[in-house]
Structure 1
Amino acid sequence: MTDLTTPKPSSTAPRRQFLKNSLALTAASSVPGFAFAQPKTLRIGYITALSGPRAPFGVADQWHLAKLRERLKNGLDIGGQKIPVEILLRDNQSDPNRSTQVASELVLREKVDLMLVQDGDASTPAGQLCDVHGIPMVSTMSPWQAFLFARNGKVSKGFPFSFHFFWGADDVVKTFVSLWDSVKTNRAVGTLYIDNPPGAAFADPLMGMPPVLSKAGYRESNGGFFKVATDDFSNQITGFKKADAHIVSGFMYESHFATFWKQAQQQGFKPEICTVAGAFLFPSALKALGAAGNGMSTEVWWSPSFPYKSSLSGQSAAEFAAEWEKDTGNQWTQPLGYAHALWEVGLHALKTASNPFDRKAVRDAIQNTTLETLVGRVDFKGSPIKSVAKTALAGGQWRRTAAGAKSPYELTVVNNALAPGLPLGGRLELLSQLS
């Protein structure tokens, strides 16, 4: 009769070998380049605004994602192995509540490995969720102050899993002041701000527009905050006329400025300079203004004239913009560069992490990123602001093009005070000189 309680001597060696092989397999699977028998799929959540007031910021997303999906159709090359990638696109409809909803869906139900947030207004709800649940996140297209301070973050500490790259509201104001210093005005500035996180960042009394204007010797006539649905700016215009404001500035979207400018003309308010953050980023804003759009000035995040290349495709800024215009028949827009750079940073983190499926490893890879992108250097590793990488910014003015040109207006870089490496195309001119 066989004794079932006593193991056969020959059984121990195979068991030891099995355990040894299992440990080796586990260790090897964490090393980049190890060939998984059946690779898991990396899931990347992508939040943008395809509809609502911020839709112009996401107008190129479908085009861009089609290019990315084609590039990634055979997987992302990590350590010599092609890892499948799934992109989960969500439209936040330019609504804070919707942003919370789609972020929750991606984090809790879809359990994404990486979150990319193109719409800056969604960085707060998405960042809060990602930090709580330990999911690495990168966002862009909102002043870094809105990303950091809307959640009571600290410059010296940052956040556990959420990161952001963009310029700051203070950089915009410094650029604006440098623009205005190049011409003669009475240094009176009328300002108004949307009541949202970016608007709050621009209006911040300590780090936004007011202290920079005061320090530079400009007098601010503050028209205050207005709601996104506002369509009457008569009170602000009356205040600006009373202050004899030669300059109009602040933060608003193109639809708001179109309404404001029409009412300003009706009330006989004719400033010499209109330099408004957010309002003149897109060619559509100038088309809506018609002839009145000539000479509007703005911050320039990115343009085909910038001397940068994509780390993904090797394309120059000019080549990338030309591809968009050829494929769509539409003029280039500034968010084109940042939407692309967001993927450059995200995919770089997955490729350089010790394990792309280990969320802490991906977080660490983002934290240690210094990457040359289509918008310039994105440097989290060397940044004095934790969780934030500041990017280049210039000042520009929209100029009417010659008859027969493919676009009625072209954005010209006219100030590079904060980014001397960016080429200039002209100098700022007063509206009265262009009319």
Structure 2
Amino acid sequence: MINSPEIPLSFSASRRSLLRALGAGVTGLGLAACGKLADDGAQATGSTLKIGFVSPRTGPAASFGEPDGYVLSLARKAFAGGLTIGGTRYDLQIIDRDGQSNPQRGAQVANDLINSDGVDLMLATSTPETVNPVSDACEAAGVPCISTVVPWEAWYFGRGAKPEDKQAFKYTYHFCFGVEQFHQAYTHLWPQVPTNKKVGVMWPNDSDGNAIRAALGPLLAKDGYTIVDPGAYTDGTNDFSAQIAKFKAEGVEIFNTFPIPPDFATFWRQAAQQGFRPRIAQIAKTGLFPSQVEALGDIGAGLASAAYWTPTYPYTSALTKVSSKELADGYQNEAGKQWSQQLGPSLALFDVAAAALRAVANPKDRAAVAKAIGTLDVQTPVGRLRWGKGPNGNVVATPILGGQWVRTTGGKYPLDFVLCENSSDPNVPVAAQLKAYGA
């Protein structure tokens, strides 16, 4: 028999004496009263494992957090029986916090989860404003952290890593698309509509915008696209008249931007008022979710975007055994809202978390868990994640596929997102060809 570590040694010794005195006839009763039995024999009970989860539930990036409640319910259900690791069963608690789309708030809730709640593992998602400060707090405190939905260059280089670094961080790991995946998507998507290959860009002065400007712009130029860049702008800008005038004067027919959602809404309404109507309007970081596009009204249909997950991804969660289609259907039935591509990577975080904790003999050993993440191979809704295959030791680069928001006829929802290219994951089916904006 294995004594529970929660029972004092003096009591355990007294129990053994009592059992010997009473004989085998009451042994089962004594065990039932003093310890937990596993189905196949005795099993020790470890302390509770705590997972922190930080995402933007409010603020400018709140649309990323829309499906959090549903994903958290699936994860908590999957962990309801705890995790058995090395013969010890651990209860598991998920503590979720709102980063409020604000770097200072993100850092604060991360430090609270680390210092007050004592989390063993941190998960973070959605935009550098949330993910980067959470990752930094974990790296400083020596807490393993897994994050997603920030272009990996904005996460890696945005936190001070250098291009020559093979593994800049010890405790923080990431999976997400990067500039190369955007480049593949755009250069496979844009030729589907004839244009003059002049690309007007609105790349902000933030982690995303700076990473994109440094890497994507030169790649597109090599492919024969002319980049019309009016310069980095500040998040929260409310007058884009100068940029719009430049795009019109240069005859821009492709527009590309990586803004926070409110900034794009402001720009696109002003563009419509001032007569800027490109043949392709390619947006990222916003226009990812139905609520964002529907809020634009008539000028939302026809926008080109990209997807890091859709219900047609042919992959299943290793933790919950839920397929991509089941994930979308379940959310729509329970939440009463249209599927969101955030469902896939958010659930994938918990697939990776479970695999990381199971990969070590002692899941309370933070350094061992962090080291194990760097060698994981996990099946998730966004596909197979394998660390150690590049682009560096901390990152797995995942696909992002190009598509377009189109009006539906007779459907439950007014708009739907259809994939128009699958260059970074041919396993995902293409549903349509890109059409010119307004066609």
CA distances 1:339-367 after superposition (whole Å, capped 9, x unpaired): 00011101110012221111122112211
Is structure 2 residue 437 aligned with structure 1 residue 431? yes
Hey, what does 1:198 align to over in structure 2? 208
Which residue of 1 is the match for residue 232 of structure 2? 225
CA contact (8 A) 1:308 1:316 kept: yes
Whether the aligned pair in 1 keeps the contact of 2:170 and 2:371 (CA below 8 Å) is no
2:128 pairs with 1:127:
no
Q: 8 Å contact 2:74–2:320 — kept in the other structure? A: no
SS at match of 1:431: coil
SS in 2 for 1:275: strand
Q: Call closer, same or farther: CA 1:428–1:392 in 2, change over 3 Å.
A: same
Secondary structure in 1 matching 2:420: strand
Q: Which shifted more, 219-228 or 178-187?
A: 219-228
Amino acid across the alignment from 1:398 = W
What SS does the corresponding residue of 2:339 show, helix, strand or coil?
Answer: coil
Match of 1:171 in 2: 181
Partner Cα separation in structure 2 for residue 36 and residue 356 of structure 1: 16
TM superposition shift of 1:153: 1.4
TM-superposed deviation, 1:56: 0.5
Q: Distance in 1 between matches of 2:423 and 2:395?
A: 21
- Structure 2 distance, partners of 1:142, 1:225, is 19
Partner residue of 1:292?
Answer: 299
Equivalent position amino acid for 2:113 in 1: L
Corresponding residue number in structure 2 for 1:276: 283
2:427 to 409, 421, 427: 421
Residue deviations 1:270-315 (CA, integer Å, cap 9, x gap) = 1111011122101012211222222111111100111111111222
Name the amino acid aligned to 2:204: I
Please tell me whether residue 158 in structure 1 is matched to residue 161 in structure 2: no
Per the alignment, do residues 237 and 35 of structure 1 end up closer, same or farther by CA in structure 2, a change over 3 Å counting? Answer: farther
Residue from 176, 184, 189 that aligns with 2:199: 189
Q: Which runs of 4+ in 1 moved over 6 A?
A: 33-36
**Structure 2 Cα separation of the partners of residues 82 and 320 of structure 1:** 28
Question: CA deviation digits over 1:166-185, x for unaligned, max 9?
Answer: 01023213311221122210
Q: Given that residues 377 and 387 in structure 2 are in contact (C-alpha distance below 8 angstroms), is that contact kept between their aligned partners in structure 1?
A: yes
Contact 2:181 2:399 (8 Å CA) reproduced: no
Query: Which of 382, 386, 393 matches 2:400?
Result: 393
The one-letter amino acid of 2:150's match is S
- Partner in structure 2 of residue 356 of structure 1: 363
Partner amino acid for 1:214?
A
Identify the residue that residue 406 of structure 1 maps to in structure 2. 412
State the 1:63 CA deviation: 2.1
TM-score, normalising length from structure 2? 0.87
Distance in 1, matches of 2:48 and 2:421, equals 45
- Equivalenced residue count is 398
- Alpha-carbon distance in 2 for matches of 1:254, 1:34: 55
| Cα offset, 1:239, TM superposition | 0.9
- Tell me the alpha carbon deviations over residues 54-85 of structure 1, each in whole angstroms, 9 at most, x when there is no partner: 11001111222123223322312334543111
With over 3 angstroms needed to count, the CA separation of the structure-2 counterparts of 1:41 and 1:319, relative to structure 1, is same
Structure 1 pair 268/384, CA: closer, same or farther in 2 (3 Å)?
closer
For 1:411, the aligned partner's letter is F
Could you say what secondary structure the match of 1:302 adopts?
coil
C-alpha separation in 2, matches of 1:112 and 1:345: 16
Deviates most, 210-219 or 165-174: 165-174
Give the partner amino acid of 1:306: Y
Q: Amino acid of the residue matched to residue 218 of structure 1? A: Y
> For the Cα contact (< 8 Å) 2:351–2:379, is it kept in 1?
no
- In structure 2, the gaps of 5 or more residues are 1-39
User: Unaligned 5+ residue runs, structure 1?
Assistant: 1-32
CA contact (8 A) 1:337 1:375 kept: yes
Whether 1:329 aligns to 2:339 is: no
1: CA distance between counterparts of 2:300 and 2:133?
A: 35
